């Protein structure tokens, strides 16, 4: 039998607003996924190392500080460097629409902006993870 | 307040009304089976004197400006002068933020409210590796006194009051403010304003902590003591429920957890040997304003009454000013939607009314575009105008505490006070707020409330106009504020120049003196001020304290 989908929920950068991250973490868990939450102030390096160590299928990052264009692509790059590009990377938070094409180009599979129901995120993960 | 016979009669007619309603509902059901307030408390169909039968005007309300301050902290409230319209602003560099402040003052803003970027809030210079991508983003980058001088250039510090949203490194930023004033020829006793300086809510809800609990509490009580002597008009802390509410708490939790934090600060200061009446008059609070006007008004009134009772009965405060809860309000950022952002103007207007009807001392109104980015100059102006319209056109500021005596408002005030008191008792049992935080109790309670709220939105039980009902197809919004990514490089260059120019020997000396003081138990403020004057950077000063005190480790739980 397949093991449940494993997701790393992470807060990159210095932003401390973690309501969204915690709500999504709990919603994913209630949807039957295994969730690891990193806590605050994670560098891209820490996030990637946790993702590999925990053998996750998806990294979900929440960011409200405006540093998304710097930090999210860096996580994708570092995952590639670790040959872990099969891990699905998604982002959420206060991210202007204008920045979304850039983030997708850099390998962020989807960006969920404020007001997205958790069910949309859950369905997206289910449909897009590459199960090992 | 009420005669027994009359109350009995009201109860009887209420019973008859209730029976009649039951018949009506059979034919024509109400919109919902259960009606709930903005934070999920059950709202009754009708409130009557029977809901406040023990209500006693003298003990529950009194007059405005006197104990228990339910009706407000000043006798005439806004008939004397309006609340301070204080717009929270700061982005990119000190130069750019200085321009925004001058614009806001020109537009009628009465006080400044400084937003710092995250590296500044966490005590890192702009050239620290962890600051990458964050410099100047959510506020202004301040690395040293040199930046602070630019930030307040041309703004006379004896004329404005300044609120600074700074917590873990509050002592350093306050020292920089004092030093800028010195250069302007303004003595510290003339300075008016507030530093947020509330570390407990950082551990609970906002996350910009640096040091472990004990060291943080020491820094805070050092500031209380220093300011009571040197900067007597300064509000030394703004005990904040705002972020607790933004993290998802209910209105009653906002009051309960915030006052529990307040109790912890008072206890720490008393333990440090301060007399309660020397520092308590300079404590201030910071609350949120969400959409449910009536619940919010009751919340502010309950907070004032409860704090007055706590200060008098628990801490034996004697001065009236020690018992009066003054507060700043910010409209609720988390209530704004990225969908149909124009609707946010209406939400902010409703929240403004709540804050004013609740008796706030100062108010920051959010801008319509804040669920998308930092506000533009135009959107900030609309937000400020919203306050001005409520002040000058609505009439609600012309009489004191106009909603008092409403059966619902008084019943709700009592209900929130009682529920908040339950949380305070529970936290007392756990050993006080710092312990309850270390155990994760407060965070867990808020997390549960936040999750319930989200569930209610997704099941459609809670309607958010434009988001889960009345949706339209929308074009992406245009003209959002963008912070130039070169700000980081610019700040790095400024730090290099500063370090080349200043007397580095002197900096080293001042930092070593600070280290020594940190290892002992002296008041740290004079040492920090000396280091600041020598142009030591924020990162260098906080770095010394990090080395001595260590760093707080968050306990993560879902």
pLDDT in tens, B18-61: 999 999 999 999 999 999 999 999 999 999 999 999 999 999 99
Tell which A residues from 79 to 118 touch B, by Cβ distance under 8 Å: 94, 96-98, 113-115, 117-118
DSSP codes, chain A: -PPPPEEEEE-BSS----HHHHHHHHHHHHTT-EEEE--S-B-HHHHHHHHHHTT-SEEEEE--SS-HHHHHHHHHHHHHHTT-TTSEEEEESS--GGGHHHHHHTT--EEE-TT--HHHHHHHHHHH----
The pLDDT of residue B556 is: 74
Confirm or reject contact between A128 and chain B (CB < 8 A). no
Note whether B248 contacts A23, CB cutoff 8 Å. yes
Please state, rounded to an integer, the average pLDDT across all residues of chain B.
Answer: 95
Distance CA B220, CA B272 (A): 11
**Over residues B192-200, mean pLDDT:** 96
How does DSSP classify residue A97?
G
Would you say residue B307 has pLDDT above 90? yes
Contacts of B499 (CB under 8 A, 6+ apart): none
Note whether A14 contacts B558, CB cutoff 8 Å. no
Tokens representing B36 are 């709930």
pLDDT band per the 50, 70, 90 thresholds, residue A132: low
The tokens 């533009």 sit on which residue?
A: B376
Please state, rounded to an integer, the average pLDDT across all residues of chain A.
Answer: 94
Alpha helix stretches (DSSP H) within B364-440: 377-392, 407-429, 433-438
Q: Exposure of B257 by Cβ count < 10 A (0-12 exposed, 13-18 middle, 19+ buried)?
A: buried
For chain A, how long is the longest CA-to-CA vector? 42
The pLDDT of residue B450 is: 94
Q: Which residue of A has its CA nearest to B208?
A: A16
Note whether B450 contacts A40, CB cutoff 8 Å. no
Provide the number of structural domains found in chain A.
Answer: 1
The pLDDT of residue B485 is: 82
In terms of DSSP bridges, do strands A110-112 and B111-115 run parallel, antiparallel, or are they unpaired? unpaired
Confirm or reject contact between B270 and chain A (CB < 8 A). no
Tokens representing B169 are 């490194």
Q: What is the CATH number of the domain that holds A103?
A: 3.40.50.280
Q: Which residue of B has its CA nearest to A29?
A: B558
Q: Which residue among B138, B207, B467 places its CB closest to the CB of A66? A: B138
Is A65 within the bounds of a domain?
yes
The pLDDT of residue B304 is: 98
Q: Which residue among A19, A67, A119 places its CB closest to the CB of B248? A: A19
**Over residues B149-155, mean pLDDT:** 97
ipTM of the predicted structure?
0.91
Q: Which residue of B has its CA nearest to A16?
A: B207
The pLDDT of residue B494 is: 97
Distance CA A19, CA A23 (A): 6
Are B359 and B352 a contacting pair, CB within 8 Å? no
Q: What percent of chain A has pLDDT over 70?
A: 98
**Over residues A78-107, mean pLDDT:** 95
Distance CA B240, CA B198 (A): 7
Note whether A37 contacts B454, CB cutoff 8 Å. no
Is A1 within the bounds of a domain?
no
Would you say residue A48 has pLDDT above 90? yes
Chain A CB contacts of B132 under 8 Å are: 67, 70-71
Are B239 and B262 a contacting pair, CB within 8 Å? yes
- Please give the model's pTM, rounded to 2 decimal places: 0.94
Chain A CB contacts of B556 under 8 Å are: 37-39
Distance CA B168, CA B200 (A): 10
Is A118 within the bounds of a domain?
yes
Would you say residue B481 has pLDDT above 90? no
Chain B CB contacts of A26 under 8 Å are: 447, 451, 558
The distance of B76 to chain A (nearest Cα, Å) reads 38
Q: Residue B175: how many CB atoms within 10 A of its CB?
A: 26
The pLDDT of residue B477 is: 81
- B63-92 pLDDT tens trace: 999 999 999 999 999 999 999 998 888 888
**Over residues A43-56, mean pLDDT:** 96
Would you say residue B119 has pLDDT above 60? yes
Note whether A26 contacts B447, CB cutoff 8 Å. yes
The tokens 């009359």 sit on which residue?
A: B6
Q: Which residue of A has its CA nearest to B370?
A: A94
**Over residues B215-233, mean pLDDT:** 96
| DSSP H or E segment with residue B238 | strand B237-240
Q: Residue B8: how many CB atoms within 10 A of its CB?
A: 12
**Over residues B377-386, mean pLDDT:** 95
Note whether B454 contacts A16, CB cutoff 8 Å. no
Would you say residue B104 has pLDDT above 80? yes
Expressed in angstroms, the distance from the first to the final Cα of chain B is 47
Helix axes B441-458, A19-30, angle to 10 degrees: 70
Alpha helix stretches (DSSP H) within B136-190: 145-151, 170-184
Domain that holds residue A33: 6-128
Would you say residue B139 has pLDDT above 80? yes
The pLDDT of residue A97 is: 87
The pLDDT of residue B110 is: 80
All domains of chain B, ordered by start, with CATH?
4-57 (no CATH), 62-459 (3.20.20.240)
- Length of chain B as a residue count: 558
Chain B CB contacts of A23 under 8 Å are: 248, 450-451, 454
pLDDT band per the 50, 70, 90 thresholds, residue A84: very high
Confirm or reject contact between A69 and chain B (CB < 8 A). yes
Note whether A22 contacts B447, CB cutoff 8 Å. yes
The pLDDT of residue B536 is: 98
Q: Best residue in A16, A30, A37, A71 to probe B by mutation, most B CBs within 10 Å?
A: A16
Tell which B residues from 194 to 213 touch A, by Cβ distance under 8 Å: 202, 206-209
Could you tell me which of B196, B223, B268, B232 has the C-alpha nearest to residue B435? B268
Contacts of B537 (CB under 8 A, 6+ apart): B125, B143, B144, B495, B498
Give the lowest-confidence range in A51-55, B15-19, B553-557: B553-557
Would you say residue A4 has pLDDT above 60? yes
Give the lowest-confidence range in B31-40, B291-300, B370-379, B454-463: B370-379
Chain A CB contacts of B207 under 8 Å are: 15-18, 40-41
Would you say residue A1 has pLDDT above 60? no
Would you say residue A131 has pLDDT above 80? no
């Amino acid at each position: 039998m397949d093991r449940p989908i494993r997701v790393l929920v992470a807060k990159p950068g210095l932003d401390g607003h973690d309501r969204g991250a915690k709500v999504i973490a709990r919603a994913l868990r209630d949807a039957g996924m295994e969730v690891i939450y990193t806590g605050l102030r994670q560098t891209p390096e820490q996030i990637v190392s946790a993702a590999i160590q925990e053998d996750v299928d998806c990294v979900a990052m929440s960011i409200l500080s405006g540093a998304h264009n710097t930090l999210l692509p860096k996580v994708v790059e570092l995952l590639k460097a670790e040959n872990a590009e099969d891990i699905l990377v998604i982002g959420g938070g206060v991210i202007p629409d204008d920045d979304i094409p850039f983030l997708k180009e850099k390998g962020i599979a989807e960006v969920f902006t404020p007001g997205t129901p958790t069910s949309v995120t859950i369905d997206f993960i289910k449909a897009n993870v590459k199960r090992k | 307040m009420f005669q027994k016979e009359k109350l009995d009669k009201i109860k009887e007619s209420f019973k008859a009304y209730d029976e009649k309603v039951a018949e009506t509902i059979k034919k024509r059901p109400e919109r919902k089976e259960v009606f709930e307030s903005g934070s999920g408390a059950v709202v009754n169909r009708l409130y009557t004197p029977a809901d406040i039968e023990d209500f006693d005007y003298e003990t529950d309300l009194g007059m405005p400006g006197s104990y228990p301050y339910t009706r407000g902290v000043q006798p005439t409230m806004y008939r004397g002068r309006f609340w301070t319209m204080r717009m929270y602003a700061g982005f990119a560099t000190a130069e750019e933020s200085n321009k925004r402040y001058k614009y806001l003052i020109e537009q009628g803003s009465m006080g400044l409210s400084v937003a710092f970027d995250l590296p500044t809030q966490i005590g890192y210079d702009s050239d620290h590796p962890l600051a990458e991508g964050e410099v100047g983003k959510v506020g202004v980058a301040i690395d040293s006194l040199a930046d602070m001088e630019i930030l307040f250039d041309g703004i006379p510090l004896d004329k404005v009051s300044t609120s600074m949203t700074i917590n873990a490194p509050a002592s350093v930023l306050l020292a920089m403010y004092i030093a800028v004033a010195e250069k302007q020829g303004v003595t510290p006793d003339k300075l008016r304003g507030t530093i947020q300086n509330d570390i407990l809510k950082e551990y609970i809800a906002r996350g910009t902590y640096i040091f472990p609990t004990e060291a943080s509490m020491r820094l805070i009580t050092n500031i209380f003591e220093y300011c009571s002597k040197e900067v007597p008009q300064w509000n030394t802390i703004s005990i904040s429920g705002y972020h607790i509410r933004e993290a998802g708490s209910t209105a009653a939790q906002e009051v309960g957890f915030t006052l529990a934090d307040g109790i912890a600060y008072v206890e720490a200061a008393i333990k440090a040997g301060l007399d309660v009446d020397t520092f308590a008059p300079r404590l201030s609070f910071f609350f949120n304003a969400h959409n449910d006007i009536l619940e919010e008004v009751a919340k502010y009134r309950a907070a004032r009454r409860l704090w007055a009772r706590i200060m008098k009965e628990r801490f034996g405060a004697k001065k009236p000013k020690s018992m009066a809860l003054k507060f700043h309000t910010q409209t609720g950022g988390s209530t704004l939607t990225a969908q149909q952002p124009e609707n946010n103007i209406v939400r902010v207007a409703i929240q403004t009314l709540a804050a004013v009807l609740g008796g706030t001392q100062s108010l920051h109104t959010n801008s319509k575009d804040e669920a998308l980015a930092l506000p533009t100059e135009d959107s900030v102006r609309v937000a400020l105008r919203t306050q001005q319209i409520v002040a000058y056109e609505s009439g609600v500021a012309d009489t004191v505490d106009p909603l008092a005596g409403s059966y619902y408002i008084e019943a709700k005030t009592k209900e929130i006070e009682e529920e908040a008191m339950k949380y305070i008792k529970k936290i007392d049992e756990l050993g006080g707020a710092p312990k309850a935080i270390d155990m994760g109790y407060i965070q867990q309670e808020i997390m549960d409330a936040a999750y319930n709220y989200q569930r209610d939105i997704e099941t459609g039980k809670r309607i958010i106009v434009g988001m889960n009902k009345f949706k339209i197809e929308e074009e992406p919004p245009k003209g959002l504020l963008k912070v130039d990514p070169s700000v980081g490089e610019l700040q790095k260059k400024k730090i290099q120049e500063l370090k080349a120019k200043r007397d580095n020997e002197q900096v080293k000396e001042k930092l070593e003196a600070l280290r020594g003081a940190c290892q002992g138990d002296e008041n740290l403020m004079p040492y920090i001020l000396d280091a600041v004057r020598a142009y030591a950077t924020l990162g260098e000063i906080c770095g010394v304290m990090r080395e001595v005190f260590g760093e707080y480790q968050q306990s993560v739980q879902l």
